C-alpha cells in the first residue's frame, strides 16, 4: 500500500487523537473542543478526517506552550 507524503508525515508525528482523547488530555469536555473548532476561537489545530476531528499530541503541546502565562518580576 502506498501512502501520500501527508499520510507519511502524519504517521511520523504519532497517532492522531480523537476529540474525546484530546479533550481528556487538555482537561476540557469534547463539546468544548467542538465549539472551539466551530468558532475558531483559540487557534487549536485539528485535522478533519471525514466528519471527525483528529488532533496531534504535538499540536496540543505546542498550543499549551503558547498559552503559558509567566509571572514577571
pTM for the structure as a whole:
0.76
6 falls within a domain: no
User: What pLDDT is attached to residue 46?
Assistant: 96
Q: How many domains does the chain have?
A: 1
CATH number of the domain bearing residue 21: 3.90.105
3 falls within a domain: no
Distance CA(41)–CA(16), nearest Å, equals 21
7 falls within a domain: no
| Tens of pLDDT, residues 13-24 | 789 999 999 999
Judge contact between 11 and 49, C-beta under 8 A. Answer: no
User: What pLDDT is attached to residue 25?
Assistant: 98
> What does the block give as the cell for 35?
465549539
Distance CA(53)–CA(47), nearest Å, equals 6
Q: Which domain holds residue 26?
A: 15-66
8 falls within a domain: no
55 falls within a domain: yes
Amino acid at each position: 500500500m502506498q501512502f501520500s507524503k501527508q499520510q507519511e508525515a502524519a504517521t511520523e508525528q504519532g497517532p492522531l487523537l480523537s476529540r474525546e482523547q484530546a479533550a481528556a488530555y487538555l482537561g476540557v469536555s469534547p463539546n468544548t473542543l467542538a465549539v472551539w473548532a466551530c468558532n475558531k476561537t483559540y487557534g487549536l489545530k485539528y485535522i478533519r478526517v471525514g466528519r471527525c476531528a483528529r488532533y496531534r499530541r504535538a499540536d496540543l503541546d505546542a498550543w499549551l506552550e503558547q498559552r503559558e502565562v509567566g509571572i514577571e518580576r
